[in-house]
Amino acid sequence: MFKKRITGGQTWSKTALAIAMVGVGAGCAPHQGSGLFDPKDFDGLQPANFGLLASACTFDGSGNMTAVVSDTEVAYLSIRPTDGVVLLNGVNGSGADCTVATTKKITINSNGADAAASTRKVVLDYYNGMFGLGT
């Protein structure tokens, strides 16, 4: 197993990158900072750009985010290192980045001709940290 030394004495292994790909139907609109995956120094992983989602992300009164992924789209979520929010490769109704605090709920819904088809995917990139507790 390959390991990389991070400042502060922490050791992260290649498996800590923990990219989970799950076929779903959901989506959120495009954002200015596209879903660019940079594998940094991890051998065997290639950079990828997931593009922006067609549908705009929305927020409820509590600040929870909902995204919709359509056929052939990939939702890419990661922690933005500059401010620690979860960033989705989409934009909201105002054209701003789809971001949400790690303490908020993220719902990803399917939007496509065949909800059971595996043409919609979600990538969770934990390289910059975990998103928070799941339920």
pLDDT at site 13: 31
pLDDT at site 113: 67
Q: Indicate the domain borders of the chain.
A: 3-125
pLDDT in tens, 85-111: 999 999 998 999 999 999 999 999 988
Over residues 106-118, the mean pLDDT reads 76
pLDDT in tens, 23-78: 222 333 333 445 667 777 777 778 878 889 999 999 999 999 999 998 888 999 99
Q: Under 8 Å CB-to-CB from 84, ≥6 apart: which residues?
A: 102, 129
| Strand locations in the chain (E) | 3-6, 10-13, 20-23, 36-37, 48-49, 58-59, 65-70, 74-79, 86-91, 97-100, 106-111, 121-125
Asked if the model's pLDDT at residue 118 lies above 80, the reply is no
Q: Under 8 Å CB-to-CB from 52, ≥6 apart: which residues?
A: 29, 30, 31, 34, 35, 89, 90, 91
Who wins on pLDDT, 66 or 134?
66
pLDDT at site 101: 94
